[in-house]
Structure 1
Amino acid sequence: MTGRRRAARAVLALAVGTALLTGCGGRPTTHHKPGTSHQEATGANGTLLTARDSTGHRLREVPAAGAPALRIETRPDTEGGWNVHLQAERFRFTPESTGGAALPGRGHARLLVDGREAARTYGPWAHIPAGARTLTARLYADDHTAWAVAGRPVEATVRLGAPADTPASPAPTFTAAPGRTLAVTITGDSVQPPPSRVEVRQGERITLQVTGDHTDTVHVHGYDRELPLTPDRTATLTFTADRTGLFEVETHESGLVLTQLVVR
């Protein structure tokens, strides 16, 4: 082998070694998955902050424009607990690349129940057990840094109602009660019989028969029922007393109290 050939091979070996050390584009490389470019893995992937979130993970700051966004929808599960639907925008779950580089708009989510980390999810659906009061979902990059905007993690929080495995209070049911008719006559500013409190069972059907000597409107407070009056004609209003409490029946124009219903 001549000296010229040895020199050429030495130059070639040096060039190959340099390429292996510097990687793509002659710069030090960061880990990235097959199928993603070096630019994707190292550029536009946010600024790594020294601040950390409540779980101890560092924040990765990205501009508000185009940043991921998150909403949470919860549904009671028939076997207890809550089914959670994470509705993410400008973000997709990438379980296949967890542990890799932080790529824009990719990663996973962590669920915090009552402020404590409870689970990690690699898709939009998850389940949490009953008994929780609040649920927070937070988005993370594949390298486990938390996506953040203006120094705050990208997250959403919802308050949860009664646990799904606790039977809800049944809607009130009414035992059929006999109807009752209340007849009232208005003459000038006089009401007959004189106004008094009438005890009524919840669920009872009430019929008001009002006869007056002037035009007016009868209003049943609490039930928002009205009855127009025509002079010297009997007007009738029938309704079910399905709300408990004290309710006045009065006229609008003359302001006369006709009776008070006490529904128990």
Structure 2
Amino acid sequence: MTSFYYEVCLLKSPLANLTYKSDDEIEPGTLVEVPLRNRKNNSPAVVVEKVEKPTFKCVEIAEITHKYYDSKMLKTAKFIALYYVCSLGEALSIYTPFYEHKEEMETKEFISNIDLSNKQQEAYEFLQNNRAGLLFANTGSGKTEIYIKTIEKHLNNDKQALLLMPEISLTPQMQKRLEEVFGDYVAIWHSKVSKKKKEKIIDDLLCGKVKLIAGARSSLFLPFSNLGLIVVDEEHDESYKSDQKPRFHTKDLSLYISKTQNIQIILGSATPSSASFHK
């Protein structure tokens, strides 16, 4: 029987990629279980690529799951590993693997009924004409209305949207405001959401029942299939920086994802960082 050889990365491990073999053909990005010497239980790993038969003896992949990381996740994780100096396994561990879902084709028109002022309309039109833009305005000047109008436009074009906010800003009032316009198509994502609820949100996102995620920095790594907009509110906030490996900056990663995947991005703040202001 023909054996195939694969380079895999161990999730949450600082180790370099290892080579395993299998009698099955496995797609890159597939979540697998592999044995490690001196460990009783198998370890979760991700298939990176198929390789030539090495000169050394290889151990068999123990289990092939039906969960996977898509090509966009793999590409971004490789960038994270290189830019933030960590292993690919550590970089991929911040993503959520998923099962293949069939998206439900349901057309829904969202109407916000928001009337923008002249200044807001001017800012809104500028943002629509630029893939990346900084919305620099004082607190209470109406940035949220511009966010909602932009989100509304993308959702009505059958796209998904992500509204990133510091966890402290994800208040019941903000949730209610978004639900008034987007109803059950919006989901809130942060550290206090239960594991069971998070699993349902991911299923609904994959099926098309959720089109807008408002969440803390970890929501950037959810399995979006058709993301059209990223909004980074309070882009200067220090909570967007991860203090554990991989030590990424959510704003900078959002800009990278926006550029490589041709996604519109809006950075918003009353006190923007000097780096964002001068860009």
| Shorter-chain TM-score tier | under 0.3
Structure of larger gyration radius: 1
Higher relative contact order (CA 8 A, sep 6+): 2
Higher strand share: 1
Higher helix share: 2
The TM-score, its normalising length taken from structure 2, stands at: 0.20
